[in-house]
Amino acid sequence: MNIEWDKLGFQFLPARSNIRFSYKDGKWDEGKLCTSNEITLSIASNCMHYGQAAFEGLKAFCCKDGKVRIFRPLENARRLNSTIEYLMMPQFSEKKFVEAVKKVVKDNIDYVPPYGTGGSLYIRPVIIGTTPQIGISAATEYELIIMVMPVGPYYKGGIKPVKAMIHDDVDRAAPRGTGHIKTAGNYAASLYPTSLAQKAGCAVMLFLDPKNHELVEEFGSSNFFAITADGKYVTPDSPSILPSITNKSLMQIAKDLDIQVERRAVSKTELETFAEVGACGTAVIITPIGEIIHHEKVYRYDQENIGPVSKKLYDRMTGIQYGRIADEHNWMEEL
């Protein structure tokens, strides 16, 4: 194993093991660590045909004191269950989920980027329907696999601002607006619009509400937040965006820092007025947005540096994650 920790981006890098649970005859098994990165599936598995698949994303950090801790794994366990309930998949014990995450992190402890490299161990649980069937109905057999990999920044450049493009140009089904779920289909449908953004030199696509295209919703990879001219933290409240654990944590951190928080409908016309705009999520952490393109219109923010309020939030969040700042809310789970 020879990993250049400071050169890591956000790519799949096989680690020592993953942990797998199978659901059969109405129950989940006890799970086992597995060193293979392959699976064998029937060609008729309904995850492939009908997208009965869901995933999560969370991170483990090597803290200043040398201990490895996981950021809010119970929140991911809860969100996974809420997603899979909608996808007609069997619930997975939240306690067992947290235990499984700890077990796979422990088994791959030497893949956690050391303190000071800025990296983390990305944990990706994925659940798929495996029953061979061609009629549209829920599977009766499932696999839950939790894999891990060391990662660095999602967008090259760390906290350097990136460009975004608003999606309402293509005359196709709205790729977002599918509810509070984190499932394969939502992301596949964002590939084409995101490729349009990338052609225009933008790293991310910003989606508007699917009904009227008037409200700001979220980015393809993350939630949206903005800092108003009078210093408030504003983030969309919408039934069609993913309830981000990072955003929930940032709202708490903002309150702790005496920054007023407004979770409400955000009109696209407000983009003109914001002092700072950012993307937030597990993978992107806080990525400042330097510019948003909407047809001929361009909204400009600081294109060189992260804004002062976003920086305060970023420092507090990463300070807690890497154990530099007291974890007042008990977000960091010991192994």
Site for ligand COI in 41-60 (CB under 6 A): 57
The answer to whether residue 162 forms part of the interface with ligand COI (CB under 6 A) is: no
Alpha carbons 122 and 120: distance in angstroms, whole number: 6
125 bridge partner residues: 146
Nearer to ligand COI, 158 or 308 (CB): 158
CB of 204 to ligand COI, least distance (A): 10
The answer to whether residue 120 forms part of the interface with ligand COI (CB under 6 A) is: no
Nearer to ligand COI, 133 or 190 (CB): 190
Helix (H, G, I), strand (E, B) or coil at 5: helix
State which of residues 3, 5, 57, 324 lies at the interface with ligand PLP (CB under 6 A).
57
Q: Give the containing element (helix H, strand E) for 165.
A: strand 162-167
CB of 57 to ligand PLP, least distance (A): 5
Q: Of 32, 29, 313, which is closest to residue 146 (Cα–Cα)?
A: 32
Helical spans, DSSP H, in 32-107: 46-50, 73-86, 94-107
CA angle 117, 123, 129 (to 5 degrees): 160
CB of 2 to ligand PLP, least distance (A): 29
Site for ligand COI in 239-298 (CB under 6 A): 281-283
Task: Write out the two tokens for 74.
Answer: 């119970």
Please tell me which residue in 102, 163, 182, 268 is annotated as part of the active site: 182
Nearer to ligand PLP, 194 or 221 (CB): 221
**In the Cβ-directed half-sphere of 120, how many Cα atoms lie within 13 Å?**
22
Span from 39-47, 148-156, 242-250, 255-263 in contact with ligand PLP (CB under 6 A): 242-250
295 bridge partner residues: none
Alpha carbons 223 and 214: distance in angstroms, whole number: 17
The answer to whether residue 185 forms part of the interface with ligand COI (CB under 6 A) is: no
CA angle 310, 216, 241 (to 5 degrees): 90
- 211 classed as catalytic: no
The answer to whether residue 179 forms part of the interface with ligand COI (CB under 6 A) is: no
Catalytic residues: 182
Which residues are at the interface with ligand PLP (CB under 6 A)?
A: 57, 218, 221-223, 242, 244-247, 281-282
Which residues are at the interface with ligand COI (CB under 6 A)?
A: 57, 221, 281-283
